[in-house]
Amino acid sequence: MQEFLILAAVLAVVLVQQFRPQKVATDRRHGWLLPAALVLVSLRGPGLVDGEQAALSAVLLAAVLAAGIGTGVLWAWTSRTWTDSEGVIRVQGGVRSAVVWAGGLAAQLALYGVALPTGVQQSGAAAVPALAAVLLARTAVLTWRTQGTVSVKGAVGELLKAHGVRHGVSAK
């Protein structure tokens, strides 16, 4: 039950934030902290793999993780990135990101549905690393996408602002 509460809290925060413009973390460690904490939470207790049907349970866990990675990659690709007028790299999800989230959730639920007739016991502990996979994949793809984007500040940002350049597009 504790895993579901953690999962619900993290999902609520992440989903609310995705529709607001966010600063892309230039500190590479920032995007890895929450997924690492989620993995630690899921590994600390039993239930990640069903002991009675370990092989099938491990295959389903791998499929859930793969679906999470796919969701994270698509989420990052459907998120809009830009450089604001102050030279800060920003990201924001939109309708396409919401569709990706809905599809990812449907895929996760379908995989849990596959587990039911086989008798494999999937607990909330398996959903937590799946969310970590989503967040890690998104962070990796956004880092890669914005790697060539230069965050300009100070004099360069002021120069761009003075010439009417906003969000990477000329305002003229």
Contact indicator for 164, 172 with CB cutoff of 8 Å: yes
More reliable by pLDDT, 47 or 172: 47
User: What is the distance between the alpha carbons of residues 110 and 107, in angstroms, rounded to a whole number?
Assistant: 5
Q: Which of 55, 71, 53, 58 is nearest to 109 (CA)?
A: 71
Cα Rg for the chain, rounded, in angstroms? 19
Q: How confident is the model at residue 172 (pLDDT cuts 50, 70, 90)?
A: very low
Torsion of CA 30, 32, 35, 39, to 10 degrees: -130
Contact indicator for 126, 61 with CB cutoff of 8 Å: yes
Q: Where are the domains of the chain?
A: 2-170
Of 42-46, 79-83, 105-109, 115-119, the one with minimum mean pLDDT is 42-46
Contact indicator for 158, 90 with CB cutoff of 8 Å: no
Q: What is the pLDDT of residue 154?
A: 45
- Side chain identity, residue 95: V
Listed ranges 31-40, 101-110, 159-168; the one with the highest mean pLDDT: 101-110
More reliable by pLDDT, 65 or 6: 65
Torsion of CA 43, 111, 32, 47, to 10 degrees: -10
